[in-house]
Amino acid sequence: MSSLVESAKKAFTSATATEKVADLQRDIQTPQARDHLTTDHGVKVSDTDNWLKVIGTGPGKYNGPMLLEDQIGREKIHRFDHERIPERVVHARGAAAHGYFKVYDDRASKYSYAPVLTDSLRTTPVFVRFSTVQGPRGSADTARDVRGFAVKFYTEEGNWDIVGNDIPVFFIQDAIKFPDFVHAVKPEPQNEVPTGQSAHNNFWDFVGLQPESAHMVMWVMSDRGIPRSFRMMQGFGVNTYTLLNDRGERHFVKFHFIPELGVHSLLWDEALKISGQDPDFHRKDLNEAIENGAYPRWRFAIQTIPEDREHDFDFDILDATKLWPEELVPLEEIGELVLNRVVDEFFTETEQVAFCTSHVVPGIGFSDDPLLQGRNFSYFDTQITRLGVNFQELPINRPICPVLNHNRDGKARHRIVKSSINYWPNRKNIGMPVPAEKGGYIEYAQRLEGIKERARGDKFQEHFSHAQLFFNSLAPYEKIHLANAISFELSHCEDRVVYNSYIDVLNNIDFSLAKSVAGKVGADVPSQSGRRNHGKKGKGLSQTDFMPKEPTILSRRIAILVADGFNEVEMQAVRVALTSAKAVCYIIGPRRGHIHPSQDTGSGVSADHHFEGQRSTLFDAIYIPSGAEHVKALAKNGRVIHWLRETFGHCKPIAAVGEAVDFLRDVVQLPKVDLFAPGGRNDQVVSSYGVVSTGRYSAGSSIIADIPKFEA
Ligand code: HDD
């Protein structure tokens, strides 16, 4: 490691430092006050506001024509004209962060000799980019969609990329179908509608005719399609990879990331509203959590199958539309992924990061999964279009280990190799660089026999058994959400052929689901089941299987509604209790500015926002302190009443004390108001209810509104 990198590394606190962060310091510029502007060729610029022009010299100064000879003006405009690069053809909208990966011990060494998976003394730097799939760069974060979960591990043996999603299966089995799938889900070609949505004829037409999509469609239409936060999603490598151990044995493997905070979603009504109210909701949430020290964390797990058991299952383990049920192939947790540093510049890091499924390191390999093999071509190719052939030299993409070979030239080459030799073997045969004798990437010697054919294996023909397994495993309210989501989408399809065709697909999964959706969207209601539902359920499919061990409000956003005359002593006590449990509190008042407390209770607070400046959808819970005057003022404000009714409707906790309880019952008219604590005494609020858990995920205390039951 260079001394420059060493010294840059020291500049970081241990919480955020990784070798990659230090490596990036080589390219980070931090302008200081009164630094000079220069051109790109380094010449100081004294005026960047006026183009060089002819100034008339008649009576008074007047503007004459601008002069093309102004090389400074031209450079500024030319550089601007070329600022955009092609956005990703899918997953265009995303947000990313730096962090690290660590394994607990060497238990995975029975599967792999890759040190990143086995050496517990190592901390491997990572860069993780989350994304939506359908929408363009400027689309809203909370669209119903799959979320990308792409992890770049900067290992000492080279970069390893897991380019995964928040859903463990995929829409298609064979990479050759990807362009059709993407054309179908993207906005329609004649009018470029809709943006950031799959609710249109072409998508449902395609998936209706392509039953291999059935399983994945169930996941996307479930609550998984509208996560509360990137930090509350699972990540999956999706494809089947392989691990090679030092005895030369090979295992098939699936990769999983399990969020520490549990798996949580928005409600559809929230997601729709947030799309307009704060389209950057998820990217802000990621940064807010990291900046508040609530570092997003995932446990990393693997599922492995020894090579000789490949054909032991009633599904093909290389089929990406199938999962490996945990009952058959248990998860082994071997490490953790932590994100602890926001990016410094969006374009150079988040936009220019280039993931390739083909980037693996010794000890990790591919399988014959036909989706993965196609992906291994596609990603490298797409990066050349987006970023140029030297994309791996860009700071965010370059490995932390040495890179040296005889690849040369191409657009935007940065590295300068000082050598007369750019081929192998060479007459001098003196090295610089030679093939590695040890530690090189070794392909597994796989025995193959078969007939060259455009076809798919027999087990690739069955499409509904895992879709049924997923559906059966959902909690009753999750099933309702799923049926409502499909009904929403199909009601945006005008073509009767399209929505009728999808009812046939649903009827192969579950008769009652098909009937309920058909009834809603005006399709032909099936009179009998298309296929018997096998009735089996699986572990780890419902989000309810991922509750954190202890209920937590870590990083949850809590709005404290106040008006002049609130009880500050009580409010501050509750706020301290909430923030010490690591929730993030915001004061919302009638104006952004000073809010006066009731007499003798304090000196007042400064509101972070006013009632019209935010919406309830952007918070996980609300707390209203006591105070007669303040409650009277809140009661006169229609927006406040809307905040509270909406919060209640979205099944979120509402805490109220003293007069605020009566206000909720009499003015806001929330049902079940008898469940609110009579409250009022500060010690009661703080000591008994110091930790206000978010009710949707774990029933809280009696100052929290009851959670309405989901009913069909
Ligand atoms: Fe893909 C991007 C995930 C199938 C071709 N894909 C992309 C990204 C993610 C995934 C997370 C964004 C990476 C980033 O943040 O830059 N893709 C998946 C998963 C798949 C999958 C989990 C199924 C298992 N993808 C898939 C297939 C193909 C592609 C079958 C082509 C044959 N994907 C691409 C791409 C993208 C991409 C066109 C667009 C931008 C990019 O690669 O860098 O090459």
Q: Which of 36, 63, 82, 91 is labelled catalytic?
A: 91
pLDDT band with cut points at 50, 70 and 90 for residue 549: confident
Answer yes or no: is the C-beta of 162 below 6 A from any ligand 1 atom: no
Residue 199 forms part of a structural domain: yes
For position 650, what pLDDT does the model report? 85
350-369: b (≥16 Cβ within 10 Å) or e: bbbbbbbbbbbbbbbbbbeb
Domain boundary among 360, 393, 426: 393
Q: What is the pLDDT of residues 127-138, one digit of tens each?
A: 999 999 999 999
Pair 354, 252 in one domain: yes
The number of the ligand 1 atom at minimal distance from the alpha carbon of 382 is: 44
- Give the chain's largest Cα–Cα span: 94
Residue 403 forms part of a structural domain: no
- In this predicted structure, the answer to whether residue 9 has a pLDDT above a threshold of 50 is no
Question: Probe ligand 1: pick from 87, 89, 90, 230, max atoms within 8 Å of CB?
Answer: 90
For position 672, what pLDDT does the model report? 52
Q: Find the mean pLDDT for residues 681-705.
A: 30
Full DSSP string of 328-396: TS--EEEEEEEEEEE-S-IIIIIIT----TT---TTEE--S-HHHHHHHHHHHHHHHHHH-TTGGGSTT
**Distance of CA 626 from the midpoint of ligand 1 (Å):** 52
For position 428, what pLDDT does the model report? 66
**Distance of CA 549 from the midpoint of ligand 1 (Å):** 33
Residue 477 forms part of a structural domain: yes
For position 429, what pLDDT does the model report? 65
Lowest pLDDT segment from 227-231, 476-480, 503-507? 476-480
**Distance of CA 379 from the midpoint of ligand 1 (Å):** 7
Pair 55, 17 in one domain: no
- In this predicted structure, the answer to whether residue 684 has a pLDDT above a threshold of 70 is no
Q: What is the DSSP letter of 403?
A: -
Pair 305, 242 in one domain: yes
Pair 113, 167 in one domain: yes
The number of the ligand 1 atom at minimal distance from the alpha carbon of 90 is: 39
Residue 443 forms part of a structural domain: no
Question: Probe ligand 1: pick from 378, 385, 394, 397, max atoms within 8 Å of CB?
Answer: 378
CATH of the domain at 501: 1.20.1370.20
- Residue 579 CB-density burial (10 A; 0-12 exposed, 13-18 middle, 19+ buried): middle
Q: Find the mean pLDDT for residues 376-386.
A: 97
Structural domain including 344 reads 94-393
Q: Which of 98, 159, 165, 472 is labelled catalytic?
A: 165
- In this predicted structure, the answer to whether residue 705 has a pLDDT above a threshold of 50 is no
Residue 584 forms part of a structural domain: yes
| Dihedral sign, Cα of residue 385, residue 389, residue 395, residue 400 | positive
Residue 710 forms part of a structural domain: no
Tell me whether residue 165 is one of the annotated catalytic residues.
yes
For position 623, what pLDDT does the model report? 93
Residue 208 forms part of a structural domain: yes
Q: What percent of the chain shows pLDDT beyond 70?
A: 91
pLDDT band with cut points at 50, 70 and 90 for residue 671: low
Lowest pLDDT segment from 26-35, 136-145, 175-184, 457-466? 26-35
pLDDT band with cut points at 50, 70 and 90 for residue 655: confident
Domain boundary among 514, 545, 576: 545
Determine contact, residues 191/236, Cβ cutoff 8 Å: no
Pair 581, 651 in one domain: yes
User: Known binding site for heme: residues?
Assistant: 379
Predicted TM-score (pTM) of this structure: 0.93
Pair 214, 79 in one domain: no
Q: Find the mean pLDDT for residues 376-401.
A: 97
pLDDT band with cut points at 50, 70 and 90 for residue 653: confident
Q: Find the mean pLDDT for residues 325-336.
A: 98
Of 342, 337, 349, nearest to 398 (Cα)?
349
Lowest pLDDT segment from 256-270, 282-296, 479-493, 570-584? 570-584
User: Known binding site: residues?
Assistant: 379
Lowest pLDDT segment from 1-5, 21-25, 436-440? 1-5
Full DSSP string of 252-307: EEEEEEEETT---B--HHHHHHHHHH-TTHHHHHHHHHHHTT---EEEEEEEEEEG
For position 711, what pLDDT does the model report? 31
From atom 25 of ligand 1, which residue's Cα is the shortest distance away?
Answer: 375
From atom 35 of ligand 1, which residue's Cα is the shortest distance away?
Answer: 379
Domain count, the chain: 5
Pair 494, 559 in one domain: no
- In this predicted structure, the answer to whether residue 542 has a pLDDT above a threshold of 50 is yes
Q: Find the mean pLDDT for residues 124-150.
A: 98
Q: What is the pLDDT of residues 598-627, one digit of tens each?
A: 988 999 999 999 999 999 999 999 999 999
CATH of the domain at 659: 3.40.50.880
Pair 207, 226 in one domain: yes
Q: Find the mean pLDDT for residues 167-185.
A: 98
Question: Probe ligand 1: pick from 322, 375, 381, max atoms within 8 Å of CB?
Answer: 375
Answer yes or no: is the C-beta of 169 below 6 A from any ligand 1 atom: no
For position 454, what pLDDT does the model report? 97
Domain boundary among 371, 393, 415: 393
Answer yes or no: is the C-beta of 171 below 6 A from any ligand 1 atom: no
Pair 518, 608 in one domain: no
Determine contact, residues 620/603, Cβ cutoff 8 Å: no
Residue 171 or residue 647, greater confidence? 171
Residue 574 forms part of a structural domain: yes
For position 431, what pLDDT does the model report? 64
For position 427, what pLDDT does the model report? 78
For position 204, what pLDDT does the model report? 98
Pair 24, 143 in one domain: no
Lowest pLDDT segment from 220-224, 272-276, 363-367, 580-584? 580-584
Pair 599, 660 in one domain: yes
Pair 204, 335 in one domain: yes
Mean pLDDT in the chain? Answer: 90
**Distance of CA 89 from the midpoint of ligand 1 (Å):** 9
Tell me whether residue 534 is one of the annotated catalytic residues.
no
For position 595, what pLDDT does the model report? 98
Answer yes or no: is the C-beta of 380 below 6 A from any ligand 1 atom: no
CATH of the domain at 205: 2.40.180.10
